[in-house]
Copies of this chain bind each other. A is one copy, B any other.
Amino acid sequence: MKRLSTADRTSPVPPLAKGSGDEPPFRLEAFLPYRLSVTANRMSRAFARAYGTRFGLGIPEWRVMAVLGTGGAMTAGGVVERTAMDKVKVSRAVAALEAKGHLARRPHPEDRRSALLELTAAGRRVFEQIVPLARALEAELTAVLGPDDRARLAELLARLDAHLRDVGDATLDAGDPG
């Protein structure tokens, strides 16, 4: 990390003090969408590293396992609903998990376009190893917030998310680092 040597050069350009009146100058680091994005990406990266090195899983794969591990058998569409992921991403994560032997498809009794997805016994063992790790990592990474603030943050995010879903053209999606 080097110090900016622009100290000598910053004076000439007027700091662009928003002409239209007395609004405070725009500050990116106080801009909520920016804060959200940066923090979420940092968090995602930490988890991606943990899942990747210990279990060879990406975040999409982990999410699929998470819903199948607790929700029982369901279709790919059900996974899409519950993970807020794109159907393409779910499709690929399911294929990857199947190739790893963590997941099996069985024909849907009422719809031959679809299939029921289920963790294999091996997949369930992996899932049960991941859950404690995920909880511990969550606890460690959010340790600065006490339990109260953590709950508060979760609640604020849930409220904000619900609102965004209403306002924002219902664009289902969740992404990872980016």
Binding site for B on A (CB under 8 A): 1-2, 4-7, 9-10, 12-20, 23, 25-47, 49-50, 53-54, 59, 63, 66-67, 69-75, 77-78, 81-84, 109-111, 116, 118, 124, 127-128, 131-147, 149-165, 167-168, 171-176
Contact = CB atoms under 8 A, between A and B. Distances in A.
B155 A141 contact: no
A43 B167 CA distance: 10
A67 B111 CA distance: 53
A42 B156 contact: no
B160 A156 contact: no
How often does this chain occur in the complex, in copies? 2
Nearest to A33: B43
B34 A4 contact: no
B154 A32 contact: yes
A29 B165 CA distance: 15
A54 B176 contact: yes
Q: Which 9 A-B pairs have the closest CB atoms?
A: A40-B40, A144-B163, A36-B40, A38-B174, A13-B72, A42-B164, A39-B161, A28-B66, A53-B176
